[in-house]
Amino acid sequence: MSKSVLSGKGVTKVFGLGDKKTVAVDHVNFKFSKGELVSIVGESGSGKTTLVKMILGLLSPTEGDIYFMGKKRDIRTRKQKREYWKGIQAIFQDPFSSYNIFHKIDSVLMDCINMRGGSHLPRDEKIKMITEACGFVNLKYAELTNKYPFELSGGQMQRLMIARIFLLKPQILLADEPTSMIDACSRATILDMLLQCRNEVGMTIIFVTHDIGLAYYISDSVYIMEHGKFVEHGTADQVILSPTADYTQRLINDVPKIHAPWDFAKVASTVSAQA
Amino acid sequence: MGKAILEVRDLTTKYITRFKEDVYAVDHVSFTVDEGRTLGIAGESGCGKSTLALSLMGYYFSPLYYTGGQILVDGRDITNMSPDEVRKNVLGTEVAYIPQAAMNALNPTAKIIRFIEDVIHAHDLKMSKKDIYDLARERFEILNLPSDVLQKHAVELSGGMKQRTVIAISTILSPKVLIADEPSSALDVSSQKLVIKMMYDLMRMGYIKSMIFITHELPLLYNVTDNIMVMYAGQIVESGTAKQMVFDPVHPYSKGLMNSIIVPEEGTRDVKLTAIPGTPPNLKNPPQGCRFAERCKYAQHLCHTSFVTMRRFGEVDPGLLGGEDEGDAVAERNRAYRCIVPIHELKAAYAEEDAARRRDKEAVSYE
């Protein structure tokens, strides 16, 4: 068993106080090893994004500890946070709001190199690195230079996000529904690039999604989340092909499939049962 | 099957941009939807799916303009009507349209029953408030929606409930055709299933005669629709039954599209997803020949200059291809191989890659 890069013990987040409190994430334990592609699957409101924010350090957990590279994470000061973010990076759902609209693409990518301690490099060197990163995601640097992020399409922006990750080479990449806002055709490209990133750079990818089919396609192991708790986890084949938890079974049942189409007469019974 | 409810012939509509350029987003589109049938429209973003849906309403407003063709709803042409007439006699009663993210457009200060009153009053129907309420309650109960929703505000409802309410409101006058544009894309899987189930119920109970379903989620389309139409750059590239289109598409573009299907079923992990390279053409000056030629890996120089029609190989008379004794062998081969470029001066191009892949598959299955 390889060493765990990121693990959590009893991670909890509670919003609100007293009667109005909501337990968004409820005593969650997890362990992600190096080079693994893990999916966290759950419906909206299951606490996926809260967990992601806690892992990223944007929210602090109410209870529980997160361990990064075997050590307990300590990100109380700004300096510690910056150091932490060198090892952990994220791609978000909405590519249009992920960029600072006042910064040109060149400076977005240049910042990545500076952040990894490449600020002393000559400009030519930097541009060479950027061109390589753009090539990795099938974008042409010559076409991007002097442009603002909003001049690109959603798929291109998401690819540029991956180019950033390629330059930064973090140990962990958190991908929070990176493909839900782009259409099915460009989705294949994005998934492919994430897999390539994993294989070439060797980073751990945590893929958060509500699409169980996507999770099955891309990941090595899958965590299923319901109401802030992990109800099931195991290898992708295990969880998707022979699910044990009721919730997982219902989730898989509700996804449209092509080899076992829905029987609407059966759906009727589930509706009346719920109503 | 049943009679045609919606018949579209050579429909062409265009957008006029700020710089007075014409963009033909729907270009010579023809299709028919029969009674009791559901038609799905698939395609990449920006291929004209939503514009087609807008055009089908027969109600055009700037910057969308009608340029030609006919839309027959139950035999009546709605393209030569005035906008007011369309609004009164077509929208809601003949054709109902649910735009994308319609559920976010419900006025937060009004109760749901107000929207239903609005729909009915817009069609000059003299009904008392009580009658409207009774009608709405009855309809909601049939559709498994709790009737206290009528007295609630939109903000009190969950996403799935809002979407189902929107569908119930728009079909309150029992339109003949329901056009739903991405009705379930913002919902999670279980509410999505309930929404689809409700649309199916509407069909089964005869409140709507036929349905057009637009989405880019292909597994969903396969589950919901009878026929699927694939659009690319404002044109229809291929249409057929759902099964045919998902498992045995002919056009290279539909093939690419069907390659992007991901489902949580055995075998998904073994197939490598392939994306179609490049981006759709700019419709301000569309390519001369086949619009897909730029991105098509089977394209030949003929494709760039003239438009070639797609044809399934089995549709070609086998006698043309070989001697009489070879007939059976040829027919057999026709089933296994598919033609990518149709016969042109009796020359045929086979999808060699496809054939090879099929052989591999067969070999595996025989083992």
Average pLDDT on A231-251 reads: 90
- Cα–Cα dist B199/B209, whole Å: 11
- Is the pLDDT confidence value at B104 over 80? yes
Judged by CB atoms closer than 8 Å, whether chains meet at A258 and B246 is answered as yes
Closest CA to B51 of B157, B145, B181: B181
- Is the pLDDT confidence value at B309 over 70? no
Partners of residue A234 on adjacent β-strands: A222
Phi/psi at B229 (5° precision): -120, 130
Query: Where do we find the tokens 């549709």?
Result: B315
How much is the pLDDT for B317? 46
Average pLDDT on B125-150 reads: 90
How much is the pLDDT for B110? 92
| Side chain identity, residue A49 | T
Instruction: Please provide the distance, in angstroms rounded to a whole number, between the alpha carbons at the two ends of chain A.
Output: 47
Number of domains in chain A: 1
How much is the pLDDT for B343? 40
Selected residue of B163, B248, B265, B276 to mutate for chain A interface (largest A Cβ count, 10 A): B265
pLDDT band at A253 (very low <50, low <70, confident <90, very high): confident
Token readout for A233 is 């986890």
Percentage of the residues of chain B whose pLDDT score is greater than 70 = 83
- Is the pLDDT confidence value at A264 over 80? no
- Cα–Cα dist B330/B322, whole Å: 7
pLDDT per position as a tens digit, A180-215: 877 777 788 888 888 888 888 889 999 999 888 889
pLDDT band at A56 (very low <50, low <70, confident <90, very high): very high
Average pLDDT on B339-355 reads: 42
Closest CA to A3 of A30, A32, A29: A32
Domain boundary assignment for chain B = 4-232, 255-279+289-366
Judged by CB atoms closer than 8 Å, whether chains meet at A240 and B44 is answered as no
Phi/psi at A38 (5° precision): -105, 140
User: Which CATH code is given to the segment(s) B4-232?
Assistant: 3.40.50.300
- CATH number for the domain that contains residue A136: 3.40.50.300
- Cα–Cα dist B253/B277, whole Å: 11
How much is the pLDDT for B311? 63
How much is the pLDDT for B273? 79
Task: Confirm if A201 and A170 have CB atoms less than 8 A apart.
Answer: no
Average pLDDT on B213-233 reads: 90
Judged by CB atoms closer than 8 Å, whether chains meet at B190 and A258 is answered as no
How much is the pLDDT for A51? 93
Query: Where do we find the tokens 């076992």?
Result: A260
Higher pLDDT, B348 or B231: B231
Selected residue of A94, A207, A246, A264 to mutate for chain B interface (largest B Cβ count, 10 A): A264
How much is the pLDDT for B324? 44
Q: How many residues does chain A have?
A: 275
pLDDT band at A52 (very low <50, low <70, confident <90, very high): very high
Phi/psi at B288 (5° precision): -70, -50
- Is the pLDDT confidence value at B330 over 70? no
How much is the pLDDT for B360? 47
Percentage of the residues of chain A whose pLDDT score is greater than 70 = 95
Higher pLDDT, A126 or B311: A126
Task: Confirm if B221 and B42 have CB atoms less than 8 A apart.
Answer: yes
Judged by CB atoms closer than 8 Å, whether chains meet at B276 and A251 is answered as no
Q: Is the pTM of the predicted complex or chain greater than 0.95? A: no
Judging contacts by C-beta atoms under 8 Å, the chain B residues touching residue A188 are: 259-260, 273-275
Range of the structural domain that residue A251 is part of: 4-274
- Is the pLDDT confidence value at B349 over 80? no
Selected residue of A140, A181, A185, A199 to mutate for chain B interface (largest B Cβ count, 10 A): A185
pLDDT per position as a tens digit, A81-132: 988 998 999 998 888 888 888 999 988 899 889 888 888 889 999 999 999 9
Closest CA to A168 of A209, A118, A228, A240: A118
Mean pLDDT of chain A: 87
How much is the pLDDT for B329? 52
Judged by CB atoms closer than 8 Å, whether chains meet at B265 and A257 is answered as yes
How much is the pLDDT for A173? 93
Closest CA to A108 of A177, A58, A171, A159: A159
How much is the pLDDT for B363? 40
Judging contacts by C-beta atoms under 8 Å, the chain A residues touching residue B263 are: 213, 255-259
The beta-carbon neighbor of B266 closest among A211, A241, A250 is A241
